[in-house]
């Protein structure tokens, strides 16, 4: 972690905190900050693709593709 880091305090409903905790466990992240940084990278990539006209597709276990509406 660089010395240029800033502390951010988040207020969130209990349900959101539970989701954050579950993602930390599922992804074996070392901290909540790691979960949030990874989520920001993914969200930034999805937004960038959407801005360029791209779509976010989900492949179901049966192989079928469906568009997932992000916005």
Q: What is this structure's pTM?
A: 0.78
Per-residue pLDDT of the chain (71 residues; tens, 9 = 90+): 567 889 999 999 999 999 999 999 999 999 999 999 999 999 999 999 999 999 999 999 999 999 998 87
The domain spans of the chain are: 14-67
The pLDDT assigned to 57 comes to 93
- If one counts every other C-beta atom within 10 angstroms of the C-beta of residue 35, the result is 20
The pLDDT assigned to 1 comes to 52
Extended strands (E) in 1-71:
57-59, 65-67
């Amino acid at each position: 972690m660089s010395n240029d880091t800033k502390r951010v305090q988040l207020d969130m409903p209990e349900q959101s905190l539970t989701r954050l905790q579950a993602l930390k466990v599922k992804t074996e992240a070392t901290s909540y900050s790691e979960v949030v940084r990874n989520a920001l990278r993914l969200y930034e990539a999805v937004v960038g693709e959407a801005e360029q006209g791209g779509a976010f597709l989900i492949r179901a276990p049966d192989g079928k593709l469906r568009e997932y509406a992000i916005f």
